[in-house]
A and B are shown apart, each in its own frame.
Chain A
Amino acid sequence: MSTESNNWKTQLQDQMPADWAKEIDEFEAQIELNKQGKIEPRIFAETRLRRGAYGQRYDNGHRNDGKQIRKLQYPNPTLWKGPDTHWDAPGMLRIKFPWGGLTADQMDILADLAEEYSDSIGHITTRQDFQLHFVHIEDAPDLMRRLSSVEITTREACGNSVRNVTACPLAGVCRTESFDVTPYSKALFKFMLGHPDAQDFGRKFKVAFSGCAGEACGLVNMHDMGFVAKKFTAYGKEVNGFDIYVGGGLGPVPYNAKLLFENHPVEEMLPVTQAVARVFGRLGEKKIRGMARIKFLVAKLGIEEFRRLIVEERKLLPNDPRWTGLIEQYLQEGEKPSRKSANLKASSYPKGFLEWKKTNAYQQPQYGYVTVYVKVPLGDLTSNQLRALAEMARKYVKDTVRASVEQNLLFRWVSESDLPAFYEDLGAIGLGAGGANTISDITSCPGTDTCKLGISASRGLARELSRNLDEMMNRLPEEVKNLKIKVSGCPNSCGQHHISDLGFYGVSRKAGSYTVPHFQLVLGGQWVNNGGSYGLAVAAVPSKRIPETIQRLTAKFVSDRQKDENFQHFVQRIGKTEIRNLLQDLMVIPSHDAEPSLYSDWGDPREYTIADIGKGECAGEVVNPYEFSVTAAESKAFEAQVMLDGKDMKGAVDLAYESMIFSAEAVVRSRNREYVGNADNTVGEFKKWFFDTGEFVKHVNNTQFAAYLFKAHENKLAHPTQDEAHRRVEEAQLFLEAVHSYLVNAAPGPAPMPGK
């Protein structure tokens, strides 16, 4: 499109930071070299990931069209942008917005780019990023240049790097914070971007800031590294500091972050981060991807040993003036309102205004100002909406807009007297809906819409639930209105299902020769206290029956709830057995003829399969003893959860282990119907014939799940802590899910194997 003289590089050369411009030029050169076959696809994949250019569903060239797996005939069939990733396949570009901060000019640029290179939609992620989908890799450099011209980078938005630094979107206007964490999150972002000590990680590294311990906004507990603002007394003086956490994370098996340092001075924030990066880079797992996050290193070493290593590393660091210089620089910036504060005047308000204000306006501690939550359906904004929001920012608040991890936008420093006009302006662009932070404000990852790993249609489900709940919002009891729903398309937790009242993640189940989309229900997670505790899987229910599942659970909550009991305590009190009984009939899959709608997913009429994300499905009506093993594994996994609820940690761990053995036995029996053996034999057979050969991994696309089995077999945990038991039960459930995937993708039946 561009010519020598008329291209974005020339047009914007004076508007981009020189180092960013140079990096984009280098990336463009790498694209050229890759096209000439001079870079290995594997190397180019990591290169583009570190620039924020991700793969997208069907980029392997296979797609289920509803009748068959169709080969997508991309124009350059021999050109690749990664292993098994077609050059011409649409991809996703992730754009970092540190601490979620957005200026009006940035929103304008996002709007233009969404139109010109994507599908006219800017999507807010659960980590305060924006994503553009269906982007061609060759458009990426110009897209990056235009972003760079308004101080946005995609650098290290993906790949094994320090990802977007998130922060509470209320920082600076929050009623419960110790102090504003914004300058510190800015300093950390700037310091770690491209830092040499952060270039050799085995996996990604996510950092979050929170202004207080009690609220959810920063979600520090689920991050690789997190900072909770705190005031403490040192030498008789009140000073600002942080409680520093490390080793948290969601993913298939969630880990609670551990306290690394308490009451740590703010000036030590950057050197400590640097020391953690060095230790993680040096000692973190590099070969087994599924075990490479820092949470595994912290769990393996123990927090005391990890802390010792960090203290030692800190002593070795050469002094860097930026440790304090960046903080001082950003402390100067501050944020000021653009309009005078004034109270809301009693008058006739626009229709729906007062109801909207209840859920969408947050009273700031600064007199006469509120923060407005703009509820963004599924985190999607059109280009026209983005431009209109940019104009609203200029009109009411200037550059104080922030994206939230719940995929909404916050306009801070709105003068109370402007609220009715602000509400009307929002309404004019279709964003005047109330219900922010309520049950209808559902968080969802992209799922099968665009994600390569998606198993179920998380966005389709979220869309359906939001519509239904919005319609019935006025009739819902208060205790139900305040529940949170979060949906992930697979166990990887991008939708943060572990920390919601009602969490769901996508799984599949086999029914005869068909595969049925399901969601695993996760209950008991905690949103407050920075995502303080994680829920556990209770039951897998067909996707189309999730609305009924929610209806039954919330009705039960309303009828059986004790005074002031929250949902988490309610779930703990009545127990998962009773909940499972409540849903038992919904879990039974009727035949395809009886209820064909269950065999397709939300918003997608194609007959469901996951064969286009793995190996081709060739199922048949085969009755095999492996099915008994699966049933036993399911049963043991559930019993383990019940034990966990009853605080019997040892019982939970033992049952989780039994579940894993039955799961492994199912795999072995899928090839050898007569197989009988003890636990040692089963693990041995599984390892020899399914793991070492790559057979199991090939069908589940992950080495991690089998590693759970081997770990449990080697270490049976004689005296498990609550954390360890929780994890072991999760791991058993995930191994079972992996076995389900294996049995769906690999054709059960005879195959070369001893014992036959």
Chain B
Amino acid sequence: MDLRKINVKFFTEKGDQVPLAALIPVFHRWIQQDKLEGMLIDVTEYTHVHQGPGLLLIAHEANYSLDEMDGKRGLLYNQKRAPEKSGEDHLRTAFRRALQACSFLEKEPEAGGKMKFAVNHLQVFVNDRLAAPHHSQTTEELERALKPLLDSLYEGAKYLLIAERDPKKRSGFEIKVDKLFDLEVVLKKLSQN
């Protein structure tokens, strides 16, 4: 399955009350500091929009955003094109980069210890209706692609894959893991393997 346009969103465990506008300086600072992998370009704000893309860090390969689509805040990694010089598979790259951004964000002073991401509650979907049309075959293929990674990251836990049912939305899953995991531990696993 073509997963070049894979998206991963880790939902917040706490921190939905932190105003997104207060976090604008964080994304600007990340550009100054080349904090994330890939080429970072600009910051754009949609705080005036109801349940929208929130706050975006626009980049060449993948956008990062504090996304509020469907009324659930989370850190969304939206891969737009295959990362340069990466031998890693797309799923693993997306998980690692998304969690890396979550980790950085939790430590930023503007988040003030008030923001925490739920490593055990996430959403994965393919942002490409041609490569991943909305039917059962896509769902099965995506599940097959996801399982090895989820098994290794959430070792010893059970997880539930809830397929997106709305045919107008993009194919993917909401994933709920029945145990809590430490963000840094999962991130370390992703970085090591």
Contact = CB atoms under 8 A, between A and B. Distances in A.
Chain B interface residue number, banded: 35 or more
Contact of A7 (B4, B31, B80, B130): B130
Chain A interface residue number, banded: 35 or more
Nearest to A89: B41
A213 to B, nearest CB: 35
Interface in B7-27: 21, 24-25
B170 interface: yes
Contact of B49 (A134, A142, A380): A380
Contacts of A378: 48
Contacts of B31: 65, 70
Contacts of A8: 130
Interface string B84-115: 10000000000000000000000000000000
17 contacts: A1-B4, A6-B131, A63-B42, A65-B31, A74-B39, A90-B58, A108-B168, A116-B127, A119-B56, A134-B63, A380-B46, A380-B48, A381-B49, A382-B46, A382-B69, A603-B21, A604-B43
A2 B28 contact: no
Interface in A49-94: 57-58, 63, 65-67, 70, 72-75, 88-90
Contact of B41 (A63, A67, A115): A63
Interface string B29-61: 001100000010111111111111100101010
Contact of B50 (A67, A136, A430, A460): A430
Contacts of B28: 65-66, 604-606
B41 A384 contact: no
Nearest to B125: A115
A122 to B, nearest CB: 11
Interface string A79-117: 000000000111000000000000000001001100110
Interface in B104-161: 127-131
A69 to B, nearest CB: 12
A382 B51 contact: yes
Contacts of B24: 603-605
A8 B51 CA distance: 30
A431 interface: yes
A510 interface: no
A74 B45 contact: no
A108 B43 CA distance: 27
Given A121-B46, A382-B50, A6 B25 contact: no
Contacts of B73: none
Nearest to A57: B42
A119 B58 contact: yes
A172 interface: no
Nearest to A378: B48
B44 A75 contact: no
Interface in A335-391: 377-378, 380-382, 384-385, 387
B184 interface: no
A733 interface: no
Contact of B53 (A111, A121, A136): A121
Most chain A Cβ neighbours within 10 Å, of B25, B44, B56: B44
B2 interface: yes
Contacts of A136: 80-81
Nearest to B42: A58
A90 B168 contact: no
Nearest to B53: A120
A481 interface: no
A480 B78 CA distance: 43
A431 B43 CA distance: 25
Contacts of A385: 49-50
A11 interface: yes
B130 A2 contact: yes
Most chain A Cβ neighbours within 10 Å, of B4, B24, B45, B128: B45
A574 interface: no
Contacts of B5: 1, 116
Contact of B129 (A89, A112, A604, A605): A112
Nearest to B49: A380
A463 interface: yes
Contacts of A380: 46, 48-49, 52
A425 interface: no
Contact of B39 (A73, A377, A463, A604): A73
Interface in A1-49: 1-2, 6-8, 11
A605 B21 CA distance: 10
Interface in A110-147: 111-112, 115-116, 119-121, 133-134, 136, 142
A166 interface: no
Given A74-B60, A429-B51, A605-B28, 19 more contacts: A1-B128, A8-B130, A73-B39, A74-B39, A75-B84, A88-B60, A108-B168, A111-B168, A112-B129, A380-B49, A382-B49, A382-B53, A430-B51, A449-B44, A450-B44, A463-B45, A463-B47, A604-B43, A605-B25
Contacts of B182: none
Interface string A511-528: 000000000000000000
A115 B32 contact: no
Given A115-B127, A384-B70, A466 B48 contact: yes
A119 B124 CA distance: 17
A7 B2 CA distance: 13
Contacts of A74: 39, 60
Contacts of A460: 45
Contacts of B47: 463
Nearest to A56: B42
B129 A116 contact: yes
Contact of B44 (A1, A73, A88, A119): A119
Nearest to B33: A65
Nearest to A138: B81
A119 B54 CA distance: 10
A603 B45 contact: yes
A604 B81 CA distance: 28
Contacts of B84: 75
A234 to B, nearest CB: 51
A605 B5 CA distance: 31
B50 A431 contact: yes
A133 B51 CA distance: 19
Interface string B157-171: 000000000001010
A31 to B, nearest CB: 15
Nearest to B68: A382
A248 to B, nearest CB: 31
A169 to B, nearest CB: 22
A377 B76 CA distance: 23
A121 B130 contact: no
A382 B169 CA distance: 13
Most chain A Cβ neighbours within 10 Å, of B5, B28, B41, B43: B41
